[in-house]
Amino acid sequence: MQYLLELEPTKVNYSEFPNEDASNVFTGTEFLNKINSGETIEVGDKVLVVGGGDTAIDAARISRRLGAEVTVVYRRTRKEMPAIEEEIVGAEEEGVKLEFLAAPIEFEKRRRAYNKTEMPENGIR
């Protein structure tokens, strides 16, 4: 399983998640840069993308096109996703699965590990 994270490390502290430095964990921009540079990336059979923005959706769609079963997890609702709606719909049409109100608790080399979260009524943590 590959894990693709939408946010750059400077914007979030990944050290709160065990195994965040594993070789199968990339930021979304790192993944997209490697793909756009022509680098071959073995995404494997399953990819978990964490995030709900354009970078996450782009990484998810590319991973799907490379043959992986892809799930995007986003900590808020679909309505709150910042990605362009047409891109979200396109990802779904390509077979990308979306799960909402979910966040990672750790990254493991061979399986996904995340939990469902309860969001406060105002949507702010």
pLDDT one-digit tens code per residue, 61-115: 999 999 999 999 998 999 999 999 999 999 999 999 999 998 877 766 544 444 4
CA angle 43, 48, 49 (to 5 degrees): 100
Residue 122 pLDDT grade (very low, low, confident, very high; cuts 50, 70, 90)? very low
> At a CB cut-off of 8 Å and minimum separation 6, what does 51 contact?
5, 6, 7, 28, 72, 74
* Residues 77/103, Cβ–Cβ less than 8 Å: no
In a domain, 59, yes or no: yes
Domain hosting residue 23, numbered range: 2-116
Instruction: Identify the sign of the CA torsion 102, 49, 8, 52.
Output: negative
Q: What is the pLDDT of residues 92-106, one digit of tens each?
A: 999 999 999 988 777
CATH of the domain at 91: 3.50.50.60
Residue 42 pLDDT grade (very low, low, confident, very high; cuts 50, 70, 90)? confident
Assigned token pair, 5: 């994270």
Q: What is the pLDDT of residue 103?
A: 80
In a domain, 12, yes or no: yes
Assigned token pair, 122: 């105002």
In a domain, 124, yes or no: no
Q: What is the pLDDT of residue 8?
A: 37
Assigned token pair, 15: 């050290």
Residue 4: pLDDT over 70: no
pTM for the whole thing?
0.77
In a domain, 11, yes or no: yes
Tally the domains of the chain. Answer: 1
Quote the percentage of the chain above a pLDDT of 90: 46
In a domain, 122, yes or no: no
